[in-house]
């Protein structure tokens, strides 16, 4: 019968685009967490390899000071990297929340659209049934007159 027009279609499209944008930002946040984890793992492996190759034999004071300075610097880099990783994880969690909120808002409008569509279809089917009833009555009256 009549074509269904959802009055909030533009708002729904906007919500969908917002959700897609937030999902894209979430994907970037996930990549950032992975990059920071890889960097953190590399630093830990570098420290572990250095400690495994650490030689106590034939060591002089200058070499020992250099090794300790290198280990201190490596520990500082690891601490800094851990902070970067924690920040990336927090950003990821916040972005995930934003995606969930955007999804909820979109779903709300989609459910509203479905509700209105069902109401529209129900009204159309009632109108169609009324027309069919009128045709049936008219045909019956026409046969009764003949």
Residue extents of the structural domains in the chain: 9-120
CATH class of residue range 9-120: mainly alpha
Q: Which of 33, 45, 20 is nearest to 102 (CA)?
A: 20
Query: For every one of its 146 residues, what pLDDT tens digit does the chain have, with 9 covering 90 and above?
Result: 678 889 999 999 999 999 999 999 999 999 999 999 999 999 999 999 988 887 667 678 888 888 889 999 999 999 999 999 999 999 999 999 999 999 999 999 999 999 999 999 999 999 999 999 989 998 888 887 76
Cα–Cα distance for residue pair 99/108, rounded to 1 Å: 14
Token pair for 47: 């420290």
């Amino acid at each position: 019968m009549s074509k269904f027009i959802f009055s909030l279609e533009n708002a729904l499209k906007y919500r969908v685009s917002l959700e897609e944008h937030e999902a894209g930002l979430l994907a970037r946040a996930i990549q950032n967490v992975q990059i920071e984890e890889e960097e953190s793992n590399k630093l830990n492996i570098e420290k572990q390899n250095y400690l495994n190759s650490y030689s106590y034999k034939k060591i002089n004071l200058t070499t020992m000071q250099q090794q300790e300075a290198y280990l201190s610097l490596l520990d500082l880099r690891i601490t800094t990297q851990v902070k970067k990783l924690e920040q990336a994880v927090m950003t990821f969690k916040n972005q995930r929340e934003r995606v969930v909120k955007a999804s909820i808002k979109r779903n709300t409008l989609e459910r509203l659209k479905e509700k209105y569509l069902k109401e529209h279809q129900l009204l159309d089917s009632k109108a169609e049934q009324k027309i069919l009833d009128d045709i049936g009555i008219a045909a019956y009256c026409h046969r009764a007159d003949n």
